[in-house]
Amino acid sequence: MVSQAQILQWVQIFASEIEQNKEYLTQLDAAIGDADHGINMDRGFKKVMSQLPTLANQDIGSILKTVSMTLISSIGGASGPLYGTLFLKASTVTTGKQELTTQELFQLLQAGLDGVLQRGKAQLEDKTMVDVLSPAVAAFKQAVEEGKDTLTAMQQAVAVAEQALENTKPMLAKKGRASYLGERSIGHQDPGATSCYLMLRSLLETIAGDR
């Protein structure tokens, strides 16, 4: 089970991970984009943090919806609408809920991935957020089908995400600004895939109760 308080904590941990990795994400984007991914994400999540007091007593769907709306209105570039859609779709499958079963957490993650796919139209191996999200959600799904608990499923998803992030390095970018570089995008880790990894690792930390 994942509680409403844990969802709030997830958002907080992710926001602080973004803050701590702002320079790193921006450096990754400097190599194959326009050096703003860390800046974009940090701007959005600082806005989300300022909304946090208003979310204390809301259900999980409402929390995720506010996160979505805040990101869409405060992050420019590709990642604003993509993360905005991820959290919007995640909110629609968690409306009115105060806690989530492992199956419901899977639905949240799957809906988020589906939102990114619908919005960005990226395929696997296009060197985007999808290259971390998709294998991670598949690993979570498999763990659920094997009857694993939430923590174990999330540990497996994050382990897969870590390898998947590494796997973005040799990919040739086919979406977003990095695609303008063609062959020169090869050899660099994708910034959006990196922030997605941080998002999943933050969720694991929350579930594990590490903070």
Q: Does 85 bind ligand ADP (CB under 6 A)?
A: no
Q: Which stretch binds ligand ADP (CB under 6 A): 5-13, 146-154, 158-166, 185-193?
A: 185-193
Q: Does 13 bind ligand ADP (CB under 6 A)?
A: no
Query: Cβ(156)–Cβ(143) under 8 Å?
Result: yes
Among 86, 129, 164, 165, binds ligand ADP (CB under 6 A): 129
- Taking the least distance from each CB to ligand ADP, the nearer of 44 and 61 is 44
17: CB partners within 8 A, 6+ apart: 198, 201, 202
Instruction: Give CA torsion, residues 80, 61, 12, 14, to 10 deg.
Output: -50
Among 27, 30, 31, 34, binds Mg ion (CB under 5 A): 34
- Taking the least distance from each CB to ligand ADP, the nearer of 8 and 35 is 35
Q: Does 40 bind ligand ADP (CB under 6 A)?
A: yes
Opening angle at CA 99, ends 98 and 104, nearest 5: 125
Among 42, 59, 190, 205, binds ligand ADP (CB under 6 A): 190
Q: How far apart are CA 112 and CA 133, in angstroms?
A: 9
Query: Cβ(67)–Cβ(87) under 8 Å?
Result: yes
Q: Does 84 bind Mg ion (CB under 5 A)?
A: no
Q: Does 148 bind ligand ADP (CB under 6 A)?
A: no
Residue 84 three-state SS: helix
Phi and psi dihedrals of 96, rounded to 5? 75, 0
Q: Which spans of this chain sit near ligand ADP (rule: CB under 6 A)? A: 29, 33-34, 36-37, 40, 77-79, 82, 116, 120-122, 128-130, 175-177, 190-193
